[in-house]
């Protein structure tokens, strides 16, 4: 992992010289434990991470390991790709949440939000009075402190915009630290510590509104204390924890409240919810994008701010949403001293993010893409972007899994057909759902088919596809390996036809 910093670890070691220890105790499991606060900064500390295979917690583990901490972790059915990445970093992994993991005696348990009350290890930690914290709090105490934090928040576009911003700073010679909810192709990793630039360490972070932990129901992003904030958009999502959009808006305003007066908030002028959020109170500098009064495009690609034109954005990513993501990244980078012309130059070489219209394979003129889209707004934007990219007369075959918690609860079912309307054919997977996807897609008529068996779905898609088709697979999970199944079946079908 590039960019490990010796000075960072040394500073943390120096801070640890003043650490205080809690008295030894004997817990209900008969284990003698010497507990230390999780805020102690010592690179020789041992942390044990619960829920380590998630993108965010895996990133926390990678950062801790790079800083010199001893890192172990556990998850339910330890799974790749994160498990492979962590093992390559020397992180010891345990499958399952057995209470006997208390015997590891880490200095601190770092608990991910996937862990709930009733989890055997979490219950054992609480019963033992062991020291624990959340992933975002650990990050704030051990990585983000004393850094210029640039946070990217929003219902959509966080991963792409965070990756763009980190890449712009990299191109400008900053070597920033970052934690991204995906793998930026330009870096090949989702997290790193980075190195200081001209005496200042910068850290770019994807700022998620999802809750922090079972013991801290605030959004993750309130822990980050950013100096530069991008607010991309705001709409209803995460139906499992938020009852309505107003409750999400409140969390976004908590984030706004943490930005210093000398900090800067860069917000999407087209988003009414963000306008309402900022009207609740804003104490920082503000810049807008997607507005003639702020950052905008003259024509389709000429970047303009305050009547000054900085050059033509050449971005190898289709769709208006990606161009707006780029505007936000350019504006945020300017706040730390990167000239817009330099940012535009960087974005011309930006290679994108894995699982964002990522090409997974091509056989006899049929291309297969993978995309993380799972919310109706993101689905519609992704389908539209692909339609813009392909030649006239070529088809988009959308293959969709409603896997997010919001989708599983059926909170967005009324918008599903509309989000897929631009696709030429639609195949959905409804295995394990308590509501009918087929009913929700009735407005699409014969263009849409629903399956409860992934193998049958893959077979149907492969049988339908012909040269010139673009198969767009959308899910926020692994989708049962449907990408490779479709590619394998396409190969078989084509061989049979010959």
Give the per-residue pLDDT at 103: 96
Q: Which domain does 367 fall in, by range?
A: 358-497
The answer to whether residues 344 and 375 belong to one domain is no
Q: Record the tokens describing residue 425, joined without a space.
A: 């054919």
Q: Tell me if 119 is assigned to some domain.
A: yes
pLDDT in tens, 426-484: 898 887 777 778 888 888 888 888 888 888 888 888 888 888 899 999 887 777 778 78
Q: Are strands 216-219 and 202-207 parallel, antiparallel or unpaired?
A: unpaired
The answer to whether residues 384 and 308 belong to one domain is no
When divided into structural domains, the chain yields a total of 3
- Could you give the C-alpha distances from 337 to 108, 166, 169, 448, in angstroms and in order? 37, 14, 9, 50
**In tens digits, what is the pLDDT along the chain, a chain of 498 residues?**
333 322 323 333 333 333 333 322 223 333 333 333 455 455 579 999 999 988 899 999 999 999 999 999 999 977 667 778 888 888 999 999 999 999 999 999 999 999 999 999 999 999 999 999 999 999 999 999 999 999 999 988 888 999 999 999 999 999 999 999 877 777 888 899 999 988 899 999 999 888 999 999 999 999 999 999 999 989 877 666 778 889 899 999 999 999 999 999 999 999 999 999 999 999 999 999 998 889 999 988 999 998 999 999 998 776 788 899 999 999 999 999 999 999 999 999 887 776 777 888 888 888 898 887 777 888 888 888 888 888 888 999 999 888 766 666 667 777 888 888 889 988 988 877 777 788 888 888 888 888 888 888 888 888 888 888 999 998 877 777 787 888 887 877 665 554
The answer to whether residues 376 and 479 belong to one domain is yes
The answer to whether residues 164 and 305 belong to one domain is yes
Question: Coil, strand, or helix at residue 37?
Answer: coil
Query: What is the model's pTM?
Result: 0.75
What count of other Cβ atoms lies within 10 Å of the Cβ of residue 372? 21
Q: Tell me if 491 is assigned to some domain.
A: yes
Contacts 24+ apart (CB under 8 A), 261-264: 261/285, 262/227, 263/226, 263/227, 263/228, 263/229, 264/227, 264/228, 264/229, 264/332, 264/335
Q: Which residues of 374-407 are buried (b: 16+ CB within 10 A; e: fewer)?
A: bbbbbbbbbbbbbbeeeeeebbbbbbbbbbbebb
Q: Where among 326, 348, 370 does a domain terminate?
A: 348
The answer to whether residues 151 and 296 belong to one domain is yes
Q: Where among 318, 348, 378 does a domain terminate?
A: 348
Give the per-residue pLDDT at 194: 95
The answer to whether residues 327 and 222 belong to one domain is yes
CATH code at 33? 3.40.50.720
CB 350 within 8 A of CB 186: yes
Q: Tell me if 353 is assigned to some domain.
A: no
Of 497, 226, 195, residue with least CA distance to 363: 497
Give the per-residue pLDDT at 281: 96
Q: Are strands 177-179 and 191-192 parallel, antiparallel or unpaired?
A: antiparallel
Of 452, 462, 469, residue with least CA distance to 401: 452
Q: Tell me if 332 is assigned to some domain.
A: yes
The answer to whether residues 152 and 135 belong to one domain is no
Report CA torsion sign: 420, 421, 427, 430: positive
Q: Are strands 202-207 and 177-179 parallel, antiparallel or unpaired?
A: parallel
The answer to whether residues 99 and 178 belong to one domain is no
Question: Coil, strand, or helix at residue 107?
Answer: coil
CATH code at 316? 3.40.1190.10
CB 441 within 8 A of CB 428: yes
The answer to whether residues 402 and 261 belong to one domain is no
CB 266 within 8 A of CB 229: yes
Query: What's the first-to-final CA gap in the chain, in angstroms?
Result: 46
Q: Tell me if 250 is assigned to some domain.
A: yes
The answer to whether residues 300 and 386 belong to one domain is no
Rounded CA gap, 175 and 202, in Å? 8
Q: Tell me if 58 is assigned to some domain.
A: yes
Cross-strand partners of 237: none
Cross-strand partners of 295: 289, 305
pLDDT in tens, 41-57: 555 799 999 999 888 99
239 class by beta-carbon count within 10 Å (0-12 exposed, 13-18 middle, 19+ buried): middle
Please list, in sequence order, all residues whose beta carbon lies within 8 angstroms of the beta carbon of residue 381, skipping any fewer than 6 positions away.
156, 319, 320, 321, 373
CB 355 within 8 A of CB 370: yes
Q: Where among 108, 139, 170 does a domain terminate?
A: 139
Give the per-residue pLDDT at 408: 63
Bond from prior residue into 431 cis (ω within 30 degrees of 0):
no
The answer to whether residues 186 and 284 belong to one domain is yes
Q: Tell me if 1 is assigned to some domain.
A: no
Rounded CA gap, 377 and 189, in Å? 27
The answer to whether residues 336 and 393 belong to one domain is no
Cross-strand partners of 428: 400, 450
Q: Tell me if 18 is assigned to some domain.
A: yes
Run of H or E including 136: helix 135-139
């Amino acid at each position: 992992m590039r960019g490990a910093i010796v000075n960072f670890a040394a500073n943390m070691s120096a801070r640890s010289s003043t650490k205080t220890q809690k008295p030894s105790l004997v817990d209900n499991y008969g284990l003698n434990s010497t507990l230390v606060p999780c805020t102690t900064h010592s690179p020789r500390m041992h942390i044990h991470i619960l829920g380590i295979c998630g993108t965010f917690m895996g990133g926390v583990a990678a950062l801790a390991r790079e800083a010199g901490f001893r890192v172990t972790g556990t998850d339910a059915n330890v799974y790749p790709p994160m498990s492979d990445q962590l093992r390559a970093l020397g992180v010891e992994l345990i499958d399952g949440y057995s209470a006997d993991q208390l015997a590891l005696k880490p200095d601190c348990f770092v608990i991910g939000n996937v862990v709930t009350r009733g989890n055997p290890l979490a219950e054992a930690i609480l019963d033992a009075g062991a020291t624990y914290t959340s992933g975002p709090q650990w990050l704030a105490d051990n990585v983000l402190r004393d850094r210029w934090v640039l946070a990217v928040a929003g219902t959509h576009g966080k991963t792409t915009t965070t990756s763009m911003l980190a890449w712009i700073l990299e191109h400008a010679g900053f070597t920033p630290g970052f934690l991204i909810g995906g793998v930026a192709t330009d870096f090949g990793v989702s997290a790193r510590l980075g190195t200081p630039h001209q005496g200042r360490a910068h850290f770019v972070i994807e700022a998620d509104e999802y809750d922090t932990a079972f013991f801290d129901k605030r959004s993750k992003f309130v822990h980050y204390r950013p100096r530069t904030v991008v607010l991309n958009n705001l709409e209803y999502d995460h139906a499992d924890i938020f009852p309505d959009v107003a409750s999400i808006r409140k969390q976004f305003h908590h984030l706004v409240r943490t930005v210093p007066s000398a900090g800067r908030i860069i917000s999407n002028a087209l988003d009414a919810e963000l306008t309402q959020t900022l009207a609740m109170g804003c104490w920082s500098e503000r810049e807008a994008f997607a507005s003639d009064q702020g950052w905008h495009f003259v024509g389709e690609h000429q970047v303009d701010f305050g009547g000054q034109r900085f050059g033509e954005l050449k971005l190898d990513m289709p769709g208006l949403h990606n161009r707006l993501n780029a505007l936000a990244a350019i504006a945020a980078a300017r706040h730390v001293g990167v000239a817009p012309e330099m940012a535009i130059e960087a974005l011309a070489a930006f290679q994108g993010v894995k699982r964002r219209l990522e090409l997974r394979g091509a056989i006899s003129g049929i291309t297969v893409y993978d995309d993380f889209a799972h919310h109706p707004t993101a689905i519609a934007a992704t389908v539209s972007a692909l339609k813009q990219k392909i030649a006239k007369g070529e088809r988009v075959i959308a293959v969709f899994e409603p896997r997010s918690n919001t989708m599983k609860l059926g909170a967005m079912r009324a918008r599903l057909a509309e989000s897929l309307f631009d696709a030429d054919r639609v195949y959905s997977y409804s295995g394990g759902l308590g509501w009918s996807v087929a009913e929700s897609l009735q407005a699409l008529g014969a263009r849409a088919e629903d399956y409860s068996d992934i193998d049958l779905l893959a077979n149907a898609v492969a049988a339908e596809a012909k040269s010139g088709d673009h198969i767009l697979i959308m899910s926020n999970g692994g989708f049962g390996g449907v990408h490779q199944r479709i590619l394998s079946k396409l190969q078989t079908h084509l061989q049979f036809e010959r």
